[in-house]
Amino acid sequence: MNIESLSLDQLRVLLTIVEEGSFGAAARRLRRAQSAVSYSISTLESQLDVELFDRSGYRPVLTAAGKTLLGEIREIIARTDRLKTHARAMSAGLEAEVSIVSDLVFPLAPLCSIFYEFNRQFPGVSLRIYSDSLGGVADLVLNGTCSLGILATLPEVPAGLIGHALSSIDTQVVAAPGHPLAQVDGRISTHSLRDHPQIVLSDRSNFTSGRDFNVFSSNSWRVSDIQMKLQLIRSGVGWGSLPANLTRPHIDEGSLVALQLEALPVAGEALAAFVVQRVGSELGPATSWLLEHIRGH
């Protein structure tokens, strides 16, 4: 057996014979002499030390060994074709990988829809997805870890970033049905909020150092995960603001109650959202496609 000397051409010839049904038809499709096609297969069989075709009948038929190896041969050719396509695309400037960070409060459904289409458009490009909040999103874009970021919990676009406005995200202040604040009839005063733990997203960056946004309680619990925040509020530990698309099913089933605060709009605060990139950054074709589809969603 001499596998090291196998050639992709031999494997392609075998697949062509299988697809066309005969050595002669394969020779015509490949524009080669039939003797050259037969020699290629004979050499391949010798190198593999196995008979691939039964030639005793009118048409060549794959042997049991040939049928077993056919799937692997197809995969080798498919992988090779993908490699060539990927290399050709990178040579033309296509990125090998695109990285993006999304704010924890940004809805996942539209993003997943865009990512699905991204995979269809750029099957050879890997996508690296991060989640963060507040200044953590901006930090990952500014330090070059991510090419794009989606801001939502940071009130403004920091210097060094270009922001493209997206639709705002509706939020709702909520608590568990048994929480003391859920028993208040009407709008709740800011003074009444101070003694009840407020569950707040924490910022791992320095962008909001010394600053709090809509924190009314003197006892704030800091979490870095939106699901942890949701579960703490549902458990009755504290109260807080969450994206309306996340709270709606829980309000409908009765595990959360919407609160109305005097300090905030009755319908809840709307968070401005932006997709951002670094100032002066040159985006490749896949990253540019992703940016435009997020902006246009």
- List C-alpha distances in Å: 296 to 164, 165, 266, 289: 10, 10, 29, 11
Tell which CATH classification among 1.10.10.10, 3.40.30.10, 3.30.465.10, 3.40.50.150 matches the domain 3-91.
Answer: 1.10.10.10
Main-chain dihedrals φ then ψ at residue 118, nearest 5 degrees: -60, -45
**pLDDT of res. 151:** 93
Give the separation between CA 75 and CA 96, rounded to whole angstroms: 22
**What does the DSSP 8-state code read for residue 181?**
G
Where exactly does CATH 1.10.10.10 map onto the chain?
3-91
Please tell us whether the domain made up of 169-270 is placed in CATH 3.40.190.290.
yes
Is the overall model pTM greater than 0.75, yes or no?
A: no
Provide the token pair at 105.
């409060």
Provide the token pair at 19.
């697809």
CA nearest to 143, candidates 82, 205, 186, 97: 205
- One digit per residue, the tens of pLDDT, for the chain of length 297 reads 556 677 888 888 989 989 888 898 988 998 999 899 888 888 888 888 889 888 888 888 888 988 888 888 888 888 887 777 666 666 656 788 999 999 998 988 899 999 999 999 888 889 999 999 888 899 999 999 999 999 998 888 999 999 999 999 999 999 999 999 999 988 989 888 888 999 998 877 776 666 667 788 888 898 888 899 999 999 999 999 999 989 999 999 999 999 999 888 766 778 899 999 999 888 888 999 999 999 987
Kind plus residue range of the DSSP H or E element containing 248: helix 244-253
Amino acid letter, residue 112? C
**pLDDT of res. 225:** 86
Give the separation between CA 23 and CA 154, rounded to whole angstroms: 67
Would you tell me how many other CB atoms lie within 10 Å of the CB of residue 249? 10
**pLDDT of res. 248:** 93
**pLDDT of res. 195:** 86
Where exactly does CATH 3.40.190.290 map onto the chain?
169-270
- The residues, ordered by sequence, that sit 6+ positions from 133 with a Cβ below 8 Å of its Cβ are 103, 104, 105, 153, 201, 202, 203, 224, 226
Give the separation between CA 137 and CA 134, rounded to whole angstroms: 6
**pLDDT of res. 178:** 93
Pairing of strands 270-278, 148-151: antiparallel
Where exactly does CATH 3.40.190.10 map onto the chain?
97-164+273-296
**In terms of CATH architecture, what is 97-164+273-296?**
3-Layer(aba) Sandwich (3.40)
CA nearest to 149, candidates 165, 159, 138: 138
